[in-house]
A and B are shown apart, each in its own frame.
Chain A
């Protein structure tokens, strides 16, 4: 968790004193940071009980649950931000989950590992095998990441389901921000990850 550059970007996106739900909140590091620095009303969902316990020790209210099934229990617009950080690629139905995020939250913050990164592309071209990288180290048959996508894929899905992207930030391997404007093709090539601030287009 030490190289979570995306946390800093997420922190910038969240307004002071807002209500935040972090889906797949792991040990609660992000929520704790948002609670300390942005005074948010923090809530989390986490799949694994040992990680839930780590959150409880930090005084964070976290529910053990599965993003695939348990989002329905949250009422409409009950949070200012719903955060899904590097989890979208591992859910059963990413499209449904995105829609759930913007049902529960007025805004959503989604971060994704970029499968369009040049190293990933090169790996497939050179080896003829499913790419493995330091951030995606598992084999194709035992990876939790069943729905990997590129930055371009993500943008077109948002377009398709009428989600407005308020802000997008891509980071290279050193955590440096890449300029999105008019340079989607190159960002999709050199960005290791991307973070998006989203809302419904009709709002």
Chain B
């Protein structure tokens, strides 16, 4: 069952200057912490992920989002490592977010939730490590928005990590990435059931809008080749086109399914706040235009992973991170994995990635 840790005594100060109180962090752990506390692996989830990294997700009854990578005998081996995964700040799976109760107004925060950043998320994870009494994790790992958190750890809390594995990510959100997110947010806000974020007062939710947001985003997570291979122009359960706007094509049906399933598990306002946090992420501007300065105090080993078919967070962005780390003499490795699966490759069956993570992690563990 999800564990909860609650902080009420101190205000949790955010990058925006605002603060949150109380702050609750929902998290899961797998495996056992060893006596020397040297086997902790912190997993940071992506935009729509949650704390259920592996085993069966008790809510969806499906395997956790990284079950393919994390578990008994798997590259992130639960027999060997103590794995921690928390729901991000601003999320909707138990950690304080827009659907949490605002103690001042006695109703959910909604749009009154403060705009949060990737740094704020990481700051909350630091509290969790303190709570678990873990001074230093063996590694912090994550893909996409999870990778942004990994980069923030490297930059802001270098003493708390022995190694780091940022995957399919970038040191800043590109203009195109912000553009896609804006489309998603506008879709949510255009839904009349959104009610300026106060849908909870009307006992409804902007499911159509959020579903369209998810459909658009999902396209960006795949690749043209992946879509073409999987669906081509195949028709969905029919022999002929219907000359209507029904989901004639398999790809339409698939996207609708993705959208409908997503809204069952995700809060629309959370989607707005988390996409915003990604948009605001920019380690370059935060370091006077020089990315390398983000890693001045970093003494950890870093393994950067990208995928050749990822056009949302392309390999070139990972290379910028590698260049910056190199220029600071950081112990950095980099692998650009051949894949046509698109951005979501990091969530899928990619044996080369498994090999990289297993090999790197084992080497760090014995070091």
Contacts and interface: CB of A to CB of B under 8 A. Distances in A.
Interface stretch (B34-42, B112-120, B359-367): B359-367
B336 interface: yes
Contacts of B352: 49-50, 53
B303 interface: yes
B204 interface: no
A56 B359 contact: yes
Nearest to A21: B326
Interface string A44-80: 0000011011011111111111000000011100100
Contact of B359 (A57, A63, A65, A73): A57
B327 interface: yes
B355 interface: yes
A58 B323 CA distance: 22
Contacts, number: 58
B333 interface: yes
A59 B336 contact: no
A64 B323 contact: no
Interface in B317-367: 322-323, 326-327, 329, 331-338, 352, 355-356, 359-360, 362-364, 366-367
B366 to A, nearest CB: 7
A59 B334 contact: no
Contacts of B338: 49
A73 B327 contact: yes
Contact of A56 (B333, B366, B367): B333
A64 B352 CA distance: 13
A64 B333 CA distance: 8
Contacts of A65: 334
B356 A63 contact: no
A106 to B, nearest CB: 14
Contacts of B327: 73-75
Nearest to B357: A56
B190 to A, nearest CB: 43
A73 B326 contact: yes
Nearest to A72: B323
Contacts of A63: 322, 326, 332-334
Interface in A149-200: none
A53 to B, nearest CB: 5
Given A56-B303, A57-B362, A78 B329 contact: yes
Contact of B333 (A50, A61, A78): A61
A165 to B, nearest CB: 28
Contacts of A55: 333
B174 interface: no
A19 to B, nearest CB: 8
Can you list the 10 inter-chain pairs with the closest CB atoms, starting with the nearest? A59-B363, A57-B359, A73-B323, A63-B334, A56-B359, A61-B331, A56-B360, A61-B333, A53-B355, A52-B335
15 contacts: A43-B331, A49-B338, A50-B352, A52-B356, A53-B356, A56-B359, A56-B360, A57-B355, A58-B363, A59-B363, A59-B367, A60-B333, A62-B334, A63-B334, A78-B329
Interface of B: 301, 303, 322-323, 326-327, 329, 331-338, 352, 355-356, 359-360, 362-364, 366-367
Given A63-B334, A73-B323, 15 more contacts: A49-B337, A50-B352, A53-B352, A56-B303, A56-B356, A57-B355, A59-B363, A61-B301, A62-B334, A63-B322, A63-B326, A73-B322, A74-B326, A74-B327, A78-B329
